[in-house]
Structure 1
Amino acid sequence: MAEGCVRTLARSETNGAPEFGDLKSVVLTKDRRLIATDCGKHCLWQIDVKTGKCSLHAGRVGIPGYEDGLPDEATFTKPSGICEGRNDYSSLLFVTDEKRFVQITRDGRAETIEISDESSGSAEFIHSTDDGQFFFTSAAKPDKIFTAFDQSCFIRSSPCAQLRQMACDWRGTLHVIDSANQRVGLVTTEDDGAVTTIWAAETLGLCRPTGLAIGIDGYFYIADTGNHCISMVEIKMGRPTGRPMTLCGLPKAKGCVDAKGSAARLDHPYSLALDPFRNVLYFTEPKAIREVSLIYHHPSFDTCMIESSLRTDLQALLESSAPLGTFKFIVGDQAFSAPKCILAARCNYFKSMIESGLKEAIENEVVVKDTTCDALKAVLAYVVTDRYDIDSPEPIEPVYALAHRYGVEKLVSLCRAHMVQSLSFANVFERVEFGQAYNDDQLVRSCAELIARNLKAVLELEGFSELNKDIYLQILKVSSYM
């Protein structure tokens, strides 16, 4: 899928979805449950990321309260923040409402673990770190980040700040959105460990940004709430490397249209949650839960830099005595034909085959083995037209393999760029092994960089321990200069 494609998973009272009140935070758990808080309906919803089917996760719809218990017994009052964390035994959900911090066990039981301190007010966003710390921001005290379960400890920003959603980068550094000053804050600690401050990055020129997520490539994604957009920016050492780019939505154009990029319409996007397996971003609006597709950004791969040679190849064809007729390719029980003159002009492999005088050249046909019909069609289409549909739903690996076999290097480069851009936790192990099998150092290095950047999370994935020694060495190598 291309970058910036928006899809609505569930919208209030549409296609069987329940009536939403005012959706706030959203979290994707490690077991792939997408859960959102509904401040207006005093409950939590669970959404199927494939079908968009929405079901009640906890609380009683429209009934506020502070009761603990099983899902059909527990009540919440204006739940807002939600995150996944751990206790001594297992992974749990932690939810904040108007007066409490609540943990929700695997069986859905809600248990109050702390009452909100009057000095901090109710928590708006809550975030857990890999080392077991919990932080939250509060609308009542918007210039501070509080340490949950020890609310006397807090991180102070400038008095005019309005701190919202937090996220950790691959180094474990905490970042936070400052809505009032339109910036991303980097939370740092002094050398003596005694004082913790927020070092503010440059103003990003957004409008009341609220949500924050950090992609597997290190890009920062920001819910630009006042502009009805989601923006992205690369930030290194706390500073943006350039101006924010709009991922989806059109500034100041409010709406509810599913489309790509600026053709999409959003309505006050609020909270963000990254899915590293599908490489999509989930976000809440007051009455909807939606997703937008991402790509893995790598500076070495830009498909726009791969220039077309079709014009020069056809010019050379006019100036030569090219072979006439067509050449037939057979895969299984299907056959495809292409002009011999184009094949010979555009690909040295085909030129040698046609001019060889061997059986294939005499009969003007060849049986192609160890590939698929779709891959052959894609390679022939590229040779003839210099175009390849990278958004095709068909697997890209067979196209790469056949282009590699025939020496169509520009198509190999296009496939490589697309394989890098579509990297995710779901395919990175397969693609690093694929790159190694074809001696593709660029693909292997890009996969190793993703693994190194997200090493803590990747270590928990099935398949990491099965990688071979050379891949581990490559991961160590890229880690040394990141």
Structure 2
Amino acid sequence: TRDAWDYFNHLYQFRLESPAPVAGGGRRTAENGTLQGDMRKLLLDGQLSDVTFVVEGRRIHAHRAVLGARCEYFRAMFESGMVESRSNEIEVSDASHGVFSAMLLYVYTGTVEVADEDAVELMYIAAKYDLAPLKALTERHITRKITAANVSAIILAADVHSASELKRTCLDYIVKEFGRVIDTDAFVALAGKSPELAKEILQYGAANLCFSLR
């Protein structure tokens, strides 16, 4: 049996729209002269950028017009008259560089690429920046991957990032697979990292198991 934490070692990509068909069959790729590809290049190259985000000491160059047009959070930020609206450099302290970059890629292109280990953090960041479709997409992706072997890792990440809906989904899954889950090495690891969460899981499981047996 794979270690439950290996669940987080795979890269996934999801798209909200399919690439356009090209003459002669096949599909256009993001690098093949499409609007999506051009927007991706604009972000990654940083050409004509007028705002810079500093995340974990690394700079990401972006464009106010694109961010404001695609995301109400950024529009409000840039029009607010606050320090961020006047500064060309904005410090980001509540996201990792990889996740913030993935969020910006979604804003620019409607697609996102992120490691599974960062999916819950991405969902949290999507909620913060009012990107409801991205939040729903990441939550559905994570929910589909829940198993008895990995649910402990997922609920721990959900707890850390205050992803309450995903946490509740995990708790309900644990009730259904209670014996299998608490017998895994992953649950033992969770208990070591967060005794309070382990206690909450056991109490929730016991209460709901008792209720279901009545």
TM-score of the alignment, normalized to the shorter chain, above 0.5: yes
TM-score by length of 2: 0.62
Q: Are 1:472 and 2:203 an aligned pair?
A: yes
Change (3 A) 1:471 1:389: farther
* Richer in strand (by share): 1
Change (3 A) 1:276 1:480: farther
Q: Secondary structure at the match of 1:335?
A: strand
Distance 1:475 1:276 in 2: 26
Corresponding residue number in structure 2 for 1:407: 130
2:174, 2:205 within 8 Å by CA — same for their partners in 1?
A: no
Instruction: Give the C-alpha shift of residue 416 in structure 1.
Output: 1.2
1:445, 1:474 within 8 Å by CA — same for their partners in 2?
A: no
Q: Secondary structure at the match of 2:113?
A: coil
1:279, 1:424 within 8 Å by CA — same for their partners in 2?
A: no
2:148, 2:180 within 8 Å by CA — same for their partners in 1?
A: no
Q: Are 1:371 and 2:103 an aligned pair?
A: no
Match for residue 387 of structure 1 among 83, 92, 111? 111
Corresponding residue number in structure 2 for 1:277: 4
Instruction: Give the C-alpha shift of residue 277 in structure 1.
Output: 3.4
Match for residue 452 of structure 1 among 164, 175, 180? 175
2:158, 2:167 within 8 Å by CA — same for their partners in 1?
A: yes
**Deviation above 6 Å: which 4+ runs of structure 1?**
none
| Letter in structure 2 aligned against 1:363 | S
Q: Secondary structure at the match of 1:438?
A: coil
Distance 1:474 1:406 in 2: 33
Instruction: Give the C-alpha shift of residue 328 in structure 1.
Output: 1.4
Corresponding residue number in structure 1 for 2:84: 360
Distance 1:427 1:401 in 2: 19
* Richer in helix (by share): 2
| Letter in structure 2 aligned against 1:446 | T
Q: Secondary structure at the match of 1:423?
A: coil
User: Matches of residues 296-311 of structure 1 in structure 2 within 5 Å?
Assistant: none
Instruction: Give the C-alpha shift of residue 336 in structure 1.
Output: 1.1
Distance 2:67 2:164 in 1: 25
Larger Rg: 1
1:328, 1:338 within 8 Å by CA — same for their partners in 2?
A: yes
| Letter in structure 1 aligned against 2:169 | S
Distance 1:364 1:454 in 2: 51
Instruction: Give the C-alpha shift of residue 446 in structure 1.
Output: 2.3
| Letter in structure 2 aligned against 1:409 | A
TM-score by length of 1: 0.30
1:276, 1:425 within 8 Å by CA — same for their partners in 2?
A: no
Change (3 A) 1:368 1:361: same
Q: Are 1:424 and 2:147 an aligned pair?
A: yes
Distance 2:72 2:206 in 1: 36
Q: Secondary structure at the match of 2:103?
A: helix
Change (3 A) 1:394 1:451: closer
**Root mean square deviation, CA, Å:** 3.7
2:68, 2:78 within 8 Å by CA — same for their partners in 1?
A: yes
Deviation sequence 1:319-347 (CA, Å, 0-9, x none): xxxxx963211113321122212211221
Corresponding residue number in structure 2 for 1:77: none
Deviation sequence 1:249-285 (CA, Å, 0-9, x none): xxxxxxxxxxxxxxxxxxxxxxxxxx583799xxxxx
Identity over aligned residues, as a percent? 24
Q: Secondary structure at the match of 2:59?
A: strand
Change (3 A) 1:356 1:426: same
1:449, 1:475 within 8 Å by CA — same for their partners in 2?
A: no
Distance 2:75 2:59 in 1: 20
2:171, 2:204 within 8 Å by CA — same for their partners in 1?
A: no
Instruction: Give the C-alpha shift of residue 475 in structure 1.
Output: 7.2
Distance 1:341 1:409 in 2: 20
Change (3 A) 1:353 1:480: same
Change (3 A) 1:348 1:277: same
Q: Are 1:332 and 2:48 an aligned pair?
A: no
Distance 1:431 1:458 in 2: 12
Distance 2:127 2:173 in 1: 24
Gaps of 5+ in 2: 19-47
Instruction: Give the C-alpha shift of residue 371 in structure 1.
Output: 1.9
Distance 1:446 1:419 in 2: 10
User: Matches of residues 90-105 of structure 1 in structure 2 within 5 Å?
Assistant: none
Instruction: Give the C-alpha shift of residue 350 in structure 1.
Output: 0.7
Distance 1:356 1:347 in 2: 14
